[in-house]
Structure formats: structure tokens, C-alpha cells
Amino acid sequence: MKVLINPNSNPTQASTRDQYLSAPGFGKYYTDHMVVAKWNEKTGWSDATLQPYGPLSLDPATMVFHYGQEIFEGMKAYIQPDGGISLFRPEANAKRFARSAARMALPEMPVDFFLATIEALVKQDKDWVPKKVGESLYIRPFLIATEVGLGVRPSNEATYLLIATPAAAYFNAANAVTVWISTEYVRAAQGGTGEAKCGGNYAASLVAQQQAAKQGCDQVVWLDAKERFWVEEMGGMNLYFVKGTGKSAKIITPKLTGTLLPGITRDSILTLASDLGYSVEEKMISIDDWKNGVQSGEISETFACGTAAVVSAIGAAKSNAGTWVTGDGKPGPITNEIRQQLLGIQHGQIADKHGWNKRVI
Ligand code: PLP
Ligand code: COI
């Protein structure tokens, strides 16, 4: 499969694009192109086409509208010191996209084909990559069930789409986010879709997000479905807890039990924190461990991590069991160090010892 190039003959004017890039926000503006590829049960994947960004025309009975058979990914392209552009561990996104597809009975896209579409879009829309460290081009591949029909069964047609949006920080790095720990709603149960990056997981989370907002919190933290006791992850981010301070600190993240999304940032921080000399551990952490650890002072920092949010400190955590605030409620030194280290590697300012960056230009 190839990526055919059909450039936009009427792209955004440079002055308008520069204005967008001066305050990109998140998901506010889209680049001049998108990529489309189709899959059919009988003929497999078509070539992909890079074409002008624009609306889709779909029959109202298209399956994705009814039963939500959809998956997506999120990754970023980062400006490099020499003006080049790199992706961060894109093969990991490609593999997760294939695993999500398998769980949702959608076709798996070959890793090389997926990567070729990403590279084609980034190359074509390279001028949309923000130039500041901490800003990037957020890339959103997704796959939808496009057979027309209302029978409940796996679609025999699917459409892959790829779009990109310049992105500033998802949260203000100087502030800590506040979280609402939901005991009423759950995100994922064993055997469910928690490990897949499917739209349905996010649709089901929104009512809890509304509750969090009513409680004055920015985000929801999910507990396990069975005991409502084990801390899993946040709305769109994995979690980390720092026990102790200085170089003897231990950095802990909830173990992947089959219900959490295996974050690429989470995985990278396990390695990066160990490179920085911290001991790291993946283990089950209960809501009591969190609360008691913060109250005794043993837990000195808590942070969330993900592609969109990078590394964001968590200040106050609120739940039916009370409210507790980690440290002074501001981003702590280890959170800041890990954030700087990760951004430094992604932006080519710190040596990429593990070969994570994939140069596109
Ligand atoms: N958890 C959820 C539910 C997410 O949506 C995301 C975002 O992709 C993450 C964790 C973090 O994953 P990653 O670091 O691969 O972006
Ligand atoms: C990401 O970090 O890519 C996410 O998926 C988080 C959110 C924007 C859904």
C-alpha cells in the first residue's frame, strides 16, 4: 500500500497560519491536509490518499454512528534544534492502534502503512509544527466502521483517517490539576475495553467528568470496577506517585491489570526515571495508600502523564472519602525534572539514549 499525494490547491495563508501558531490551544485549528484509506473485508486495504482537509459525507446508517465501532491514537511531532521534525516512539502508537483494532473487531493496519501515512502528513504540513519547546503538532489517526447497515455485527468496511492540529500545553505546567476520584462510575472492567483506545471509553467517562467539574475538579481519577479501591488512571492520562524525596525517592505507577490504557508516556517514564537514578515500581495502589501516604508525608508528589498532557502535577484529590493535597499543592521538583527530561528528549535537546525519536525531516 502506498500513500498517494493530492495536495491542497488552496492552503491556509502563511500569515493566518502564523497567527494560529502564536496561540494554538488544543484541537482549535487543523492543518491543510488529511489522509484517508479504506478497508474492505474482500479486498483488504486500499492505498491511502493525502488530500485537502475537509468534511466527510457518510450515509446516516453508517455503522459507526450507531454502535460506536471506532478507535483512535494520539501522538506528536516535535520541532528539533536544527529545524527538523521528529516523532516520539511512533511504532508504539502503530502497535497500540493494531491492538485496539483487534479488540474492537476492526481491521489491523500494518505498522509500516500506518507510519507511512503519519510521515506523509507531517512532511506535507511541516509548516504547522509549532516552533516552541512544549508545543507540538498533535496527530490524530482514527478508524471507523463504515459499512451501511443497522445489524449488530462487525462492519465489513472501515475508513482510516488522519488529521493533525497544532497544540500548546494541555494544562498550564505551572499549576497542579485537581482531581475527583469517582466511586459511582467506572471506566473499565476486566474483559472490557479499558486497554483499547476506543471512543466509547471516553463517551462513557463524560458523566463522571461532569461530576468532577461540579466538585470544582479538573479531571476524573478512575478506580477498579470490582472493589472501587485500586487506583487505575485519569481521564486521558496515567498516574505516578513519588514516595520520599531527593535521589532516594521511589517512583510508582499503577500496574497494568488489563483495564488501564498502556500509555507510551507511562512506559517511557519508567525508563527515564530509572535513568535519572530513581527506583521505579509498577504495583497496585489503593485509594487508602494514596490518602494515607499523602497525609503522612510519605507521598511527596503525584503526577499524571500522557501524550497530550506530557507530565502534569496533581494537587488536590477529592473523593467521598475526603480531600487531600499532595505537598504544597504545586508541581514538585521530581515532577518538574521528569517533565523537563521528557520534553528535552522529544525536542532533541537531551541525548536520546533509547532511540525513541524518529526523524521525519
Ligand atoms: N490513559 C488514557 C485513558 C489515555 O487516553 C491516554 C492518552 O493517550 C493515556 C492514558 C496516556 O497514553 P499515552 O502516554 O500513550 O499518550
Ligand atoms: C492523548 O494524550 O493523546 C489523549 O488521548 C488524551 C486525550 C486528548 C484524549
Distance CA 230, CA 260 (A): 11
Give 311's pLDDT tier (boundaries 50, 70, 90).
Answer: very high
As given in the structure block, the three cell numbers for residue 184 are 459511582
Q: DSSP secondary-structure letter at 30?
A: -
Determine the Cα–Cα distance for residues 340 and 351; give it in Å rounded to an integer. 13
Output the CA 107–ligand 1 centroid distance in Å: 21
For domain 177-346, the CATH architecture is: Alpha-Beta Barrel (3.20)
Residues 179-221: tens digit of each pLDDT: 999 999 999 999 999 999 999 999 999 999 999 999 999 999 9
**Domains of the chain: which residue ranges?**
3-167, 177-346
The grid cell for 153 is: 455485527
Helix (H) / strand (E) containing 308: none
Residue 219: CB within 6 Å of ligand 2? no
Total residue length of the chain:
361
**Cα gap 62→56, rounded to integer Å:** 12
- Residue 6 CA to ligand 1 centre (angstroms): 32
Mean pLDDT of all residues in the chain?
97
With a 6 Å cutoff on the Cβ, whether 237 touches ligand 1 is yes
β pairing state of 279-282 and 250-253:
parallel
pLDDT band with cut points at 50, 70 and 90 for residue 169: confident
Is the pTM higher than 0.95? The answer reads yes
pLDDT, one tens digit per residue, over 214-264 is 999 999 999 999 999 999 999 899 999 999 999 999 999 999 999 999 999
340: number of Cβ within 10 Å: 16
| DSSP H helical ranges for 71-205 | 90-103, 111-124, 199-203
Identity (one letter) of the amino acid at 174?
A: A
By most ligand atoms within 8 Å of CB, the mutation choice from 219, 238, 272, 342 for ligand 1 is 238
Find the helix or strand (DSSP H, E) in which 26 lies: none
- Return the CATH fold of 3-167: D-amino Acid Aminotransferase; Chain A, domain 1 (3.30.470)
Q: Which atom of ligand 2 is nearest to the CA of 27?
A: 8
